Structure 1
Amino acid sequence: MWYKAELEASQTAVATAQKEMAEQAEKLAHIEETAQTEQKTVSELQTAVSDIQTTLETKQSEWNDLHEKLVEQNMTIETVVQEQKMQLDASEIELNRYLNQANNQGQHLAEIQARLVERELQLKQAIAQLKQARSMIEKQNQAIKQIQQKAGERIRALQSQIGK
């Protein structure tokens, strides 16, 4: 009986051990399945990270290229702006020179016009004096004609008295 009790106890222990082993095997299978799922997820994440890193490197390269182009364009624009500023300064100097010349010519023309006005006034005065002189000459001519006429009459009267 002891043997039988021992056998039953051993069988119970074996059954319990087998049950625990089955549970452990099931847990291990579940853990292995979870590990495979996690490994797959990790692999997918690594692939995604690798893709993102590649995209980031590509974008960084594109950004560097764009930055270089922008720096070149900026330098070109600065050069163009400097050249245009120099041209504008030169044009401004030229414009000031032309304005000074125009101003000087304007002053010269104003002086000439003032002289012309003065000469026109002198000419008008001279014409007025000339008219006045003509008027006096005409009066003197009339007076001379009258004197000549009276002298002629007198001479004829004297001649007629002498001839009588």
Structure 2
Amino acid sequence: MLDPSMAPEGKHTLWIEFFAPYQVENAEGTGLHGTGWTDELKSKVADRVIDKLAEYAPNVKNAIIARRVESPAELGERLGALKGKYYHIDMSLEQMVFFRPLPEIANYKTPIEGLFLTGAGTHPGGSISGMPGRNCARVFLHTQRPIAQTLKEARDSMKQTAESVFRVFQNTELS
């Protein structure tokens, strides 16, 4: 809607992201860079994805006027992402949450004192949510301000507030 060059007037662009292996099983040495990805295979996979989407959006097949299908090999080539992994690593169960990117550095800290890790390879992963950066910043700030200091400041603040309220209450009773 914001970029008229993306679709004809009155039409829209739909982006469908589907995770597929970089190397097609039993197709080594064929297709783009020997990955097994051919134009025919890309079309087959895209057709299956559209078929599945059509179960929920029945008019989607009739609404398509053009499509561009990109294999993981092409995606990797275009983005410079090793093996097409633009999230840096696989988005699979063993690479998620406290396993991302590795269990020993999944909390944004690295073994190097003062060095923190963020980006698409950290939890919650890629996209443009900004969450990996936010999460890393929180961990960083926590290391700069230990919880004991934070709790002490909160206690002191509540104490000052209570004393202030008590003073106002005392002065009101005396008046």
TM bucket (normalised to shorter chain) is under 0.3
Answer 1 or 2: which has greater helix percent.
Answer: 1
For the pair shown, the structure with the greater C-alpha radius of gyration is 1
**Structure possessing the higher relative contact order (Cα contacts under 8 Å, 6 or more residues apart):** 2
TM-score (norm 1): 0.26
